[in-house]
Structure 1
Amino acid sequence: MPSTARPLRKLGFLTIGLFDPADPAAGHESTLRIIELGERLGFDSAWLRHRHLQHGISSPVAVLAAASQRTRRIALGTAVTPLGWENPLRLAEDLATVDILSGGRLNPGVSVGPPTHFDQVKDALYPDTAEAEDFSYERVRRLLDLVRGKPASDFSGREGFEVFSDVVQPQSPGLGRRLWYGGSGLRSARWAGEHGLNLLTSSVVKAEQPDGPWDFAAIQQSLIREFRARHPDGDAARVSHGLVVIPTDSASPEQRAKYEAYAAQRLPRTSSPQGPGRLLFAPDLVGTSQEIAERLSAHAAFREVDEVAFALPFTFAHEDYVQILTDMATSLGPALGWKPAG
């Protein structure tokens, strides 16, 4: 089997937590069972996407609070929480609470920018302050400061029978070191490094050069190197990789056909930058664990990392995720040098 330049040290997975709007409880329960399965299989981390006004998990912090009580070891993350929808002070309280409940296993990933379809949602989200809201990196800095214990108030002390703190409560030591930024461009990579965050990369990058040909892996490699060049920890700064990876070792013929059709449907968007953001997508990797390991070992960006959060496809059934995760843990991970945890 091939090996990467850095043998894989941490294996994780990412799910959107899709549900049927007519029966949302079943979809949320499926997500919790998938996280429990991940822990039994030895995965190091489980991550949830954040979806607003869609049929995917809208409150991953709440779901991870539930997962924290059904697991004991696996790290629990968000990839990512778009801060344009959040109040940093309130989010800091929620994150710290779930981190305490989980025993220090929470890995919050965040991003910035205006909420999706902001013009259509702003009257519900920010009815009085929409034009004044700051959706820049400043919103991340506020969250960082609050999580790391900087004052949120100029008042502390006793007032009658009540005691007030000037910092977010609870405080969870170590949470500030487990904050991640989801970056797809050089500016984000630089900012995340300079501010000591960890970096989440995914199957999407910004094609910032005007003309092709565009090499996804080379662009992503440049982001990782720029991030580490600006980070206090240098080459030891944490980066997690997140391609869509679908091993088929134990899949049925019907499952293989479904997976291949899914990847083929999404392939055209990988040939050139998409939309005004000039987003370039990586092809989904479908095949045996050996085939996928060979492709990853030749991937310039993947060779820079030693931890991953492979993204599960959005629209598959629970039994498909069971098969994919089982193959990841028993075949693909070991092919990449990984050993199951605990």
Structure 2
Amino acid sequence: MHAFGFLSFGHYGHGSGLGDPDARQALHDAVEIGVGADQIGVNGAYFRVHHFARQSASPMPLLSAIAARTRDIEVGTGVIDMRYENPLHLAEEAAALDLIADGRVALGVSRGSPEPAKRGWEAFGYTGSTDPRGADVAYEHFDRFMGAVRGEPVVDADPRTGPAGRLRVEPHSPGLERRIWWGAGSRESAEWTARQGVNLMSSTLLTEATGASFTELQREQIDRYRAAWRDAGHEWSPRVSVSRSIFPIVSDIDRQLFGLRGQASSDQVGVIDDLRSTFGRTYADEPDVLIEQLRADPAIAAADTVMLAVPSQLGVDYNLHVLRAFAEHVAPSLGWRPNTSGPVEALHVRS
């Protein structure tokens, strides 16, 4: 593990109290968590994107706000649902943000997960899908998006206003194409991701259930991705990220919230989006136990980036406490070094 970041699902409610922030508070908290994480030396701040739900939906304003107040941390998504996106507009926004952030943008995109709305992408104007999950829309949008990000011409110039020829989307940010990830939910989709020439993002859910443990199945997914990448002959080395729910227990608050969860947690098999799926466990224990558990995780061993799914509803202080605890007590033993040149801040959380 060379890097770690946090992955926020951005849940919000009606503002009734701790654990139930309204939309405004959730967004402001996300910015402050990003700023605090940058000071700790965390490598990345990533956000889930959902529509028609009380969660983060439009990521660019949020990522822009974090990028404007930070120096080192990578800002990105995990993942943008391409069924809902105008691919050329997204490419414009991504390039502009990347130029403002001096190359600190890393966008995870994918077909997306099940949404509350039935065929919600059609309400955004993207009709004509023959797939009940809208995968054909997502793949078409992704192809156009990547072409635009790579600077490929997409439209004829109007000779009445300038020279004839073909025009690309502007602005263009060189290098951004190597910081796009596809969120793959299976071994087959990981191989497809490699052929597309983009990085691999794998979460705490795989839309497969073979009888193997989640970590073994995810490791096979990563190995097949890397083999397909080599076969495709791409001329650069990709990144691979995995997501985990990890909570070092270093205070009484941690024990109250997660002390029993780690002991009882194990992989689960269920059905999501009509697919039999495997869900990864939660890691919650004393730091020395966590280190041994995570060293034994074959998928973490094969990935370069680990994204910690954080309980964003619990507020800025507790989320930064989780990140500090991982950075100070666990991550260095897994090979991590902070983004910043200064030392990791000591813990200052009341028990």
Q: Same fold (TM over 0.5)?
A: yes
Alignment correspondent of 2:268: 271
Q: Does 1:319 align with 2:317?
A: yes
Cα distance in 2 between the residues matched to 1:337 and 1:130: 45
Q: Which amino acid aligns with 2:281?
A: P
Is there any run of 5+ residues in structure 2 with no aligned partner, and where? 16-21, 341-351
Structure 1 portions without partners, runs of 5+: 1-7
Give the equivalent residue in structure 1 for 2:9: 16
Give the aligned CA root-mean-square deviation in angstroms.
Answer: 2.7
Q: What TM-score do the two structures reach when normalised by structure 1?
A: 0.86
Cα shift at 1:114 = 8.0
Distance 1:216 1:130 in 2: 32
1:14-53, aligned counterparts within 5 Å? 14-22=7-15, 23-53=22-52
**Residues 199-210 of structure 1 mapped to structure 2, 5 A cutoff:** 199-209=200-210
Query: When the two structures are aligned, how many residues end up with a matched partner?
Result: 327
Whether 2:283 is the aligned partner of 1:292: answer no
Quickly say closer, same or farther: Cα 1:299–1:96, change in 2 above 3 A. same
- Contact residue 155 and residue 164 of structure 1 kept, 8 A: yes
What is the match of residue 247 of structure 1?
A: 248
Aligned to 2:161: 159
Q: Does the 8 A contact of 1:111 with 1:183 survive in 2? A: yes
- The residue number in structure 2 matching 1:180 is 181
Residues 298-313 of structure 1: pairs in structure 2 closer than 5 A: 298-313=296-311
- The code of the aligned residue for 1:58 comes to A
Name the residue aligned to 2:193: 192
Q: What is the match of residue 3 of structure 1?
A: none
> Secondary structure of the residue that 2:200 maps to in structure 1?
strand
Shift of 1:193: 0.6
User: 2:343 is matched with which residue?
Assistant: none
Give the Cα separation in 1 of the matches to 2:44 and 2:76: 7
Percentage of pairs with the same residue? 29
Given that residues 228 and 234 in structure 1 are in contact (C-alpha distance below 8 angstroms), is that contact kept between their aligned partners in structure 2? no
- Distance in 2 between the 1:129 and 1:271 partners? 35
Look up the match of 1:143. 145
Corresponding residue of 2:238:
237
Whole-angstrom CA distance in 1 between matches of 2:158 and 2:69: 36
- More displaced stretch, 32-41 vs 312-321: 312-321
Q: CA deviation at 1:203?
A: 0.9
Q: How does 1:63-212 map to 2 (within 5 A)?
A: 63-112=62-111, 116-119=115-118, 121=120, 124-126=123-125, 129=128, 134-155=136-157, 159=161, 166-209=167-210, 212=211
1:47–1:338 distance in 2 versus 1, CA, 3 Å: same
Once residues 68 and 126 of structure 1 are traced to their aligned partners in structure 2, the CA distance between those partners, rounded to angstroms, is 30
CA distance in 1, matches of 2:37, 2:81: 25
How many Å separate the matches in 1 of 2:248 and 2:31?
22
Per-residue CA deviations over 1:248-304 (Å, capped at 9, x if unaligned) read 22x3x2332222466689x47x33243421121111111122211111111111111
Cα distance in 1 for partners of 2:234, 2:164 equals: 38
Whether contact under 8 Å (1:15, 1:49) holds in the other structure is yes
How many angstroms apart in 1 are the aligned matches of 2:312 and 2:141? 29
> Where does structure 1 differ by over 4 angstroms across 4 or more consecutive aligned residues?
127-133, 162-165, 233-236, 261-265
**Contact 2:81–2:138, Cα closer than 8 Å, also in 1:** no
Instruction: Letter of the 2:258 partner, please give it.
Output: Y
- Give the aligned residue type for 1:32: V
Deviates more, 1:92-101 or 1:137-146: 137-146
TM normalised by structure 2 equals 0.84
Aligned amino acid, residue 10 of structure 1: A
Kept in 2, the 8 Å contact 1:49–1:80? The answer is yes
User: In structure 2, how many angstroms separate the alpha carbons of the residues matched to 1:114 and 1:238?
Assistant: 22
